Structure 1
């Protein structure tokens, strides 16, 4: 699909990803990578004593799943992309914790798509992370990225 054809999808859901397991190993690796070793993420015994009842993923870990969930989604892709870059976010809201051992999946909706320069496109996506078996999503974000064709 060309970027011009994708522009016709503005305001519409693009697709949904596969389910991805957020396990303690993933959480621990993220803690090591970011230096965020707060006990609610890595100490299973202490975390049992909190209202969460166990360890939870970092909110930023959940947000960082965006590229993987997008890659594992059925979203249409613009043809001829040479590269893509993150540009930033308009808003991010962490709505519910992702408990260790839960599966999540992403839902994507195209909010905006504009050609900034010839061959340089900027898109804003609504990104919602669903937690399997729970009513409230883990997060909702408006994420901006650019791709070059």
Structure 2
């Protein structure tokens, strides 16, 4: 029986060992909005058959609006093995317009583009990505 066990497990272990991880790097190029530092803005990578792992956004405070991030640091989300099917980047972002001085919650839901067999992909979030339904709350 002991000699048979390695033979039975070999195909399973080879599949796990050979599976390449997938990393998605998210960068931010926001010009006309600031993300509120005091609100629970998070991003999570959603893949078929996987539980999403939310990541809280972070970065240095804005000089002019200390309650907001002046710059958002890139976020890296890694899956242990590249899944089949579509990947989506989702999460609530609490943003305030620099010029309009209006704050809102945007529920981000973006398709993550990736090449077949790729182990790394980069996604950039811009002001245009944050034009979803506007749920308003009082700004400061």
TM-score (norm 1): 0.26
The structure number with the bigger radius of gyration is 2
The structure carrying a bigger helix percent of its residues is: 1
TM-score (norm 2): 0.28
